[in-house]
Amino acid sequence: MNKAFKVAIIGGGPTGIGVGRELIDGGIAFDLYEACDNFGGVWNSGAPCGRTYESLHLISPKFNTQVPDFPMPDAYPVYPNHKLMWRYILSYADHFGLRDHARFNAPITRLDREGEGWRLKSGAGHDEHYDLVVVCTGLHNQPLFPDPAPSGSFTGEVLHARDYKSLDQLRGKRVLVVGGGNSGCDIAVDAAHAAAEVSHSTRRGYYYQPKFIAGKPTPQWMMELGAKFKTRQETMAYIEQVFKLAGYDATDYGLPRPDYPLDGAHPVMNSLILYYIGHGDITPKGDIDSFAGKTVTFKDGSQSEFDLIVYATGYRREFPFLDRDLLEWKAGIPDLFLHSTPRNLDNLLFMGFINSAAGLGDGLKTQGLFVQNYARALAGRTPGLEKFLAAKQVDKPDLGQEYFVKSYRHLWEADLWKLLAAMRHYRDMLAGN
């Protein structure tokens, strides 16, 4: 390893510290820049980067959220709340020595190509050159609203899920929550406890999964089915049957049937959304057609008045410190090999910009080791690096993406096992001769 070679990590959330931990283990020099006052990213509740709300719990159980060689405390429940999750992230960062490399309250203002590397500048006055930059700023930065927007204008309050913190923001109001993902369902359930009226607008049918089946966290129960059935279709049919018996078939509550398979979209893990719909505390609605003052007209022609609309409609990909033209874009997101590596740039990586139906642990370790091997190969200009640089131009690894529902949200969804296998394959390529 060239001792002058140095890496910058942008972002101190789980992915940033996971990458940093592996660079420490590999003896690779780096600095980690975090815009807020501590590690944690979206889990740093009190900071501007925080995206938590009072009722937030993990949707993945602790057994596959924890990093395999750094388990969560035994006292943690199956689905820890956001405060426990942040505490775990901080303990991980401290245990592996990330604070020695961290520069807090240092948002990146510019990242420009310079020579064979990058000139990085931060709002805290940093101005340094790095040979490799790893962007770990996460998926939850710039709010995304429906585009095109419904016609007309809404004169009530508008809130994006990014800025939702507690049910006090909903109390006593007629609330419409827009968006059928995990945040949208959580906020709709919150609203049922405090709002005067609650409606939930979704644009298609969804599968709603309970957090527990047979006394076990649902993902664990699914994994333990193993090879009980001959085909994937038989397995999914059995799971759907069990969900229906448990009261989690949305069509039984008058909701539309999904037009994709159970595992064809990111799972919505919520044990309460159908409960409150069944009790009349949440009124399901379809897509929005138009606004007129506080009146919302839906595509089915029905109308209701609301005081507040909460958009849980996702996030855009933006990197304000980086000239957009430096990246190749496709369908509104950077077109990256393995969702991490620009084909046109060899000294810039994007880690943590992919989702799968699993927890954090295995993916965090795998991404970190990929970066460690990439940094070593880049510093030494090894034969392994040259093989990888050639491969990223022509290879089209199957990450399972064609299987998922066609939506903006699922442009970065991947089959976990295919993703891990692909990253390990190319990691080994980088480490080879």
Residue 339 has pLDDT above 80, yes or no: yes
Angle between helices 14-25 and 361-380 (to 10 degrees): 50
Give the angle subtended at the CA of 392 by the CAs of 386 and 394, to the nearest 5°: 110
User: What's the whole-number mean pLDDT along residues 191-217?
Assistant: 97
Q: For residue 129, which of 119, 139, 143, 141 has the smallest C-alpha distance?
A: 119
Domain boundaries, the chain: 7-142+315-431, 145-311
Burial 311-338 (b: 16+ CB within 10 A, else e): bbbbbebebebbeeeebeeeeeebebbb
Residue 423 has pLDDT above 90, yes or no: yes
Residue 310 has pLDDT above 80, yes or no: yes
User: What's the whole-number mean pLDDT along residues 292-303?
Assistant: 98
Q: Is the pTM of this model over 0.85?
A: yes
Q: Rounded to an integer, what distance in angstroms lies between the CA atom of residue 273 and that of residue 344?
A: 44
More confident residue, 129 or 365: 129
Give the angle subtended at the CA of 391 by the CAs of 390 and 397, to the nearest 5°: 165
Confidence of residue 409 (pLDDT cuts 50, 70, 90): confident
User: What's the whole-number mean pLDDT along residues 322-341?
Assistant: 94
Please give the share of the chain, as a percent, with pLDDT higher than 90.
90
Residue 359 has pLDDT above 90, yes or no: no
Alpha-carbon dihedral 209, 214, 217, 222, rounded to 10 degrees: -70
Strands (E), 343-382: 348-350
User: What's the whole-number mean pLDDT along residues 267-275?
Assistant: 97
Residue 183 has pLDDT above 60, yes or no: yes
What does DSSP assign to residue 346? S
User: What's the whole-number mean pLDDT along residues 302-311?
Assistant: 98
Cis amide bond preceding 219, omega within 30: no
Tokens read off for 325: 């033209």
Tokens read off for 429: 């390529």
Distance of alpha carbon 329 from its chain centroid, rounded?
19
Question: What's the CATH code, domain 7-142+315-431?
Answer: 3.50.50.60
Give the angle subtended at the CA of 320 by the CAs of 318 and 324, to the nearest 5°: 70
Confidence of residue 2 (pLDDT cuts 50, 70, 90): low
Residue 177 has pLDDT above 80, yes or no: yes
Q: How many residues does the chain have?
A: 433
User: What's the whole-number mean pLDDT along residues 248-267?
Assistant: 95
Residue 40 has pLDDT above 70, yes or no: yes
Question: Check: CATH 3.50.50.60 for 145-311?
Answer: yes
User: What's the whole-number mean pLDDT along residues 3-31?
Assistant: 96
Q: What is the pLDDT of residue 178?
A: 98
Q: Rounded to an integer, what distance in angstroms lies between the CA atom of residue 116 and that of residue 423?
A: 25
Q: What is the largest CA-CA distance in the chain?
A: 67
Q: What is the pLDDT of residue 188?
A: 98
Q: Fold match between 7-142+315-431 and 145-311?
A: yes
> Per mean pLDDT, which range of 165-174, 186-195, 241-250, 407-416 is the poorest?
407-416
Asked if 32 and 16 touch (Cβ cutoff 8 Å), the reply is yes
Asked if 144 and 178 touch (Cβ cutoff 8 Å), the reply is no
Residue 141 has pLDDT above 90, yes or no: no
Cβ neighbour number for residue 244 with a 10 Å cutoff: 13
Strands (E), 287-403: 288-292, 295-298, 303-305, 308-311, 315-316, 329-330, 333-334, 336-337, 341-342, 348-350
> Per mean pLDDT, which range of 89-98, 134-143, 170-179, 182-191 is the poorest?
134-143
Residue 249 has pLDDT above 80, yes or no: yes
Q: What is the pLDDT of residue 321?
A: 97
Residues forming beta bridges with residue 118, ordered by sequence position: 113, 130
Q: What is the pLDDT of residue 352?
A: 94
